[in-house]
């Protein structure tokens, strides 16, 4: 794993939180993107070299809806950049980690992503992401 790519924060209302984080960082989000497969609407902020992803559920079955129901709003996941996501999934599985996604899928912001099961990582939801090169 190379570095923290972004931190994901679960929010109830993206519009309200976009304003909040714009005030916090002193600049607006640079992107809003829906990820249909995860049932989320996302927005992205940059703070210096760091990236924050806000996630709002778009339906009741969304993992974000379930997370907020259980834990409330707050830090949802930490994403790490990897150069070869398939290799990294294989390596982690061979180390005994449980994956939520055994195969990479298309995520927001031009990434292939896969989540590890938080039960295997001290309750921290970890996302792997690899930049899609076009
Ligand atoms: Zn993410």
pLDDT of residue 111 exceeding 90, the answer is: yes
- Strand-by-strand arrangement of the 105-107 sheet: 31-35, 40-47, 50-57, 3-10, 74-81, 126-131, 111-115, 105-107
Name the nearest CA neighbour of 72 among 121, 12, 1, 133: 12
Q: What is the pTM of this model?
A: 0.93
pLDDT of residue 77 exceeding 90, the answer is: yes
Residue 130 CA to ligand 1 centre (angstroms): 11
Can you read off the two tokens belonging to residue 7? 């931190």
Residue 128 CA to ligand 1 centre (angstroms): 8
Residue 66 CA to ligand 1 centre (angstroms): 16
Q: Give the model's pLDDT for residue 66.
A: 96
Residue 29 CA to ligand 1 centre (angstroms): 15
H/E element, 70: helix 63-71
Other CB atoms closer than 10 Å to residue 6's CB: what's the count? 23
Report d(CA 80, CA 128) in Å as an integer.
Answer: 5
Q: Give the model's pLDDT for residue 38.
A: 87
Residue 129 CA to ligand 1 centre (angstroms): 8
């Amino acid at each position: 794993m190379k570095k923290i790519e972004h931190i994901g924060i679960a929010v109830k209302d993206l519009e309200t939180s976009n304003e909040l984080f714009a005030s916090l960082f002193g600049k607006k989000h640079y992107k809003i993107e829906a990820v249909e497969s995860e049932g989320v609407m996302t927005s992205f902020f940059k703070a210096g070299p760091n990236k924050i992803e806000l996630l709002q559920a778009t339906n009741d079955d969304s993992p974000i809806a379930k997370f907020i129901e259980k834990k409330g709003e707050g830090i949802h996941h930490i994403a790490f950049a990897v150069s070869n996501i398939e290799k990294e999934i294989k390596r982690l599985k061979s180390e005994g980690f449980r994956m939520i996604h055994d195969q990479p899928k298309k995520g927001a912001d031009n990434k292939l992503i896969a989540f590890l099961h938080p039960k295997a990582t001290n309750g921290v939801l970890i996302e792997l992401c690899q930049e899609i090169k076009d």
